[in-house]
Chain A
Amino acid sequence: MASAAPRYDAWLSAEAVAALSEKAGDPSSTARERREAHSRFLKLPLEPNPLYRGYGYFSNVDLAGLDPAASGPAVALPPQNEGTVRVVHDASGTRGFVPPELVSAGVRFRAFEEIWSGGEADIVAFLGKEEEATDRLSALGSALVNRGYELELPDRYRAPVRVADYAVLSLPHEAISIHRSVRCGVGSQLLFTEEVFSTPEVPEGQRLHASSTSLTTGADAKVVYLGVHSPDMRTVSIYRRRATTGANSRIAWLWNGMGGFRTKVRNQSTLAGAGSEVTDLQTFFGAGDQSFDSSVDLTHTSTDTHGQSITRGVFRDQARGMSRGLVRIEHEARKTVAYVSEHAMLLSKGSRSDTIPILEILCRDVKATHSTSVAPVDPEKVFYLESRGFSQPAAVRLIAEGFLAYVHERAPVAGLRELLYPLLAARWDGREVPWTGPEFPALPPLEVTGTEGAPEWRFDAKLR
């Protein structure tokens, strides 16, 4: 385990970055940007925002000897869901399979290698004009980008496009850093799943998984982006997501943290299109020495926008949760409705939860509320269930599951609670869920809420 002051230069050397540049075939400008990102990684603070200084659970992280250029055999895959775009990130790189009917409908997909072979202009367009990273981990993610793809849904393609994205860790000292650039055309519909697992042979040292997604939606587009995070207990993850909404478009982020050692999630959504809506839903189940550290930023810059962030965590043993939610309503964003809710249930002494739900409101014609709570399991509920024949542990488990299901019921995905239940049950029993190849029970295709014949995207289903 690492000492109090990590040796960041031992995590990632300049030589390892150079080796990655060479393997990826970086043009000189991209190689230079990687070098600059690496030197920022060595210098920058973990947490630059003075509002959050002193917070953030990243202790005992030791990523010594990261090898971002490592490669190995491709993992075996379960059968592909019919009609679904499948993308796999593993030791062999990024592989994508797009059904022919989607290709002919105009769905564009280019994987990492194809983008890099397109040359400098393509790479710059892919990575986007990102503002320079101001924190150590974002800089690390930028220095290491070695997987990824771009995906574009054409305008006015009305059928929902399903994407199943898997990241599978399999090598010691692995450093997988994925960047996705996703553009949803006017009126398009995207049902996206991102799942992270690792193969059963878990090496001694810690590994890095970085996942960055940049999403833009055209007018009237609808997106569900479901994340399931369940790698082994030695994986350190950095998630970064950015979204910009078009008019009347809707995005539901839904992220479920179950595996991993240290996980840092940063979601930034800008509600730039009038009438657009972003729902950011997160659940965490932490046990052992796990920690989840999440920031959600919702920035309202246009009128009639709705934003909500709902986070719920259950923490056992020495697990920790940190939730920051920041809603900013700019002066022009009239008629905004914003809601931040961060709730936690602590099941053991030694578990802990910190929450910081921030509102910054520069416009009066808004309705902005937040609520947080931390509470133990209500003994009256336990007693009630015991009186109905449940054992005490079973009663606590049922109550905790119900507590998290509150979040799942607010997503426009049918039967989401049932889809995630097997993973949650395994984690509750202290089991990991390793990637087992062809038999692996990956998520089935998502269906939106509503009835079968008449699907209806019920955002915040429970409330309507």
Chain B
Amino acid sequence: MAQTASEISPLDYTRYDFKDPETYRVRIPKGLSRDVVRKISAFKHEPDWMLEYRLRAYDHFVSRPMPDWGPDLSDIDFDAYTYYADPLGDEKPKRSWDDLPADIKNTFEKLGIPKAEREFFGGVGAQYDSGTVYHKIREDLAAKGVIFCDTDTAVREHTDIVRKYFGKIVPYNDNKFAALNSAVWSGGSFVYVPPGVDAGIPLQAYFRINAKNVGQFERTLIIADRGAKVHYLEGCTAPVYSTDSLHAAVVEVISEPYAKLRYTTVQNWSKNVYNLVTKRAVAQEGALVEWVDGNMGSKVTMKYPSVYLKGRGARADILSVAFASEGQVIDSGAKAVHSAPDTSSKIIAKSIAIRGGQTSYRGLLHVAPGATGVKAAVRCDALLPDEQGRSDTYPYNEIHEEDATITHEAVVGKIGEEQIFYLMSRGLSESDAIHLILMGFLAEFAKELPVDYALELNRLIQLEMSGAVG
């Protein structure tokens, strides 16, 4: 017997669903205009070039129509959001945990951030609505020249590096939401790993939307210089409000020749967040970029991590997972653009849609003329464990070079009753059997996560499935 929707309990968000009182040093009133863009830039004491960039992006945002090819975004009212709310205002992000205001410290304690820092990570950043509140990097990494700070600080203190890369991977006119981010961005992580340096343990950031109707527009820029190695990890949450929030980040990642870079995200926004994110990486000669991208939360997600393989022998590995439940539309996927010879890419996408949730895989595989000897493989699998889910697959393959080797496969199906039966015959309850099958389906993803994230994933799915069957 399969489970029915009414028997499945909703996901327990209580761990994330707490709200701090909204006390901000700086909060710009709702709505978006050139004036708001100017104010944001002024609060941040930015150089003129950044203000000009923001204004050009704003003009493009206004003139660009909403995308009409994906999920329904017609409920988004851009004037209903606050575009800048900063708990610290002019103060610099704290480097000692004890210096943080008590309510914010409490928030991230609940989310486990300092604990994670102590136990596992080489550096930690935390963003609360528009402002970065905490940033710290281990001293040994800093001594090797590794920079890990918020992007606002980087604009001031590492201007040359920022100007070299900022907006070069994702130009402001790339899409409507990249334009929006470019106009009103605030916070985000900046990581620079110098040539030949191996950052060793992961760097982590955590993003949280706390206030109602606040948009979060972090801007992340990660550069692994020649031969460097780094693993960057981020998580996101928000409490549940009755009205929607908007998260429109831009992430630019550069893997210089022979660098190795891994970017892991586990997105667990509450189910009222529009998560419209542009994530793109460039891999130069012999470089490797790995995206590990998990999408569990949000109301609507549109996110297609991309790798532009620009140097000979560059490689891309993208692992994308989507889990959509009631009221959620997760439109995710991956893009690999091969513009150099002997480049290779591998995309694995897995999705589960239950209780009326919708998942879509939307992917692009492009082999440009001149990119000879390309090898690319895409696999996307979807599971529909109950009667209400919907799963779509939209893969685009553009092959303009004759010796490319491209394969693409997708399978959509339900959980085999014989699989459940087999596990039950071995003594598992039905819900445990389904949980085990789902975890097995996602195993390729889970094993790439740090252990605490993997445990979290396991717990989330268990919660989603608990009470599924009597």
Contact = CB atoms under 8 A, between A and B. Distances in A.
B400 interface: yes
A355 B396 CA distance: 6
Interface of A is mostly: strand
B406 A374 contact: yes
A360 B391 CA distance: 6
B413 A367 contact: yes
Interface in B183-235: none
B405 A364 contact: no
Interface stretch (A30-38, A75-83, A345-353): A345-353
Given A365-B414, A372-B407, A354 B392 contact: no
A376 B405 contact: yes
A50 B71 CA distance: 12
A387 B318 CA distance: 41
B395 A356 contact: yes
A354 B413 contact: no
A375 interface: yes
Interface stretch (B42-50, B255-263, B381-389): B381-389
Nearest to A347: B402
Contacts of B408: 355, 357, 370-373
A352 to B, nearest CB: 4
A358 B404 contact: no
A366 interface: yes
A247 interface: no
B35 interface: no
B414 A364 contact: yes
Nearest to A344: B399
Contacts of B391: 359, 361
Contact of A375 (B68, B69, B405, B411): B405
Nearest to A376: B403
Contact of B395 (A349, A357, A361): A357
B215 to A, nearest CB: 25
Contacts of B67: 50
Given A361-B412, A369-B409, A375-B405, A51 B399 contact: no
B470 to A, nearest CB: 21
A365 B390 CA distance: 11
B17 interface: no
B369 A364 contact: no
A375 B406 contact: yes
Interface string A42-83: 000000001101000000000000000000000000000000
Given A53-B69, A374-B397, A361 B402 contact: no
Contacts of B369: 349-350
Contacts of B90: none
Nearest to B384: A364
Nearest to B366: A354
A371 B412 CA distance: 12
Contacts, number: 116
Contacts of A357: 393, 395, 408, 410
A371 B407 contact: yes
A144 interface: no
A364 B386 contact: yes
Contacts of B402: 346-351, 376
Contact of A362 (B385, B390, B407): B390
Nearest to B392: A360
Q: Which one of A364, A367, A368 has the highest number of Cβ atoms from chain B below 10 Å of its Cβ?
A: A364
A368 B409 CA distance: 11
Contacts of B400: 352
Given A51-B69, A344-B399, A364-B414, A370 B384 contact: no
B366 to A, nearest CB: 9
Contacts of A369: 409-412
Nearest to A328: B392
Interface string B60-103: 00000001110000000000000000000000000000000000
A344 to B, nearest CB: 7
B390 A51 contact: no
A337 B426 CA distance: 31
A464 to B, nearest CB: 21
Nearest to B405: A375
A359 B393 contact: yes
A349 B401 contact: yes
Contacts of A347: 402
A355 B397 contact: yes
Contacts of A53: 69
Contacts of A374: 367, 397, 399, 404-406
Complex A-B, nearest 8 residue pairs according to Cβ-Cβ distance, in ascending order: A364-B384, A50-B69, A346-B402, A374-B399, A359-B393, A352-B400, A372-B408, A376-B403
29 contacts: A50-B67, A346-B402, A350-B369, A352-B398, A353-B397, A354-B396, A355-B399, A357-B410, A359-B391, A359-B393, A359-B412, A361-B382, A361-B384, A363-B384, A364-B384, A364-B386, A364-B389, A364-B414, A366-B412, A368-B411, A368-B412, A370-B393, A370-B395, A370-B409, A370-B410, A372-B406, A376-B402, A376-B404, A376-B405
Given A374-B397, A375-B405, 9 more contacts: A50-B68, A349-B401, A354-B397, A357-B408, A359-B393, A369-B412, A371-B408, A373-B406, A374-B406
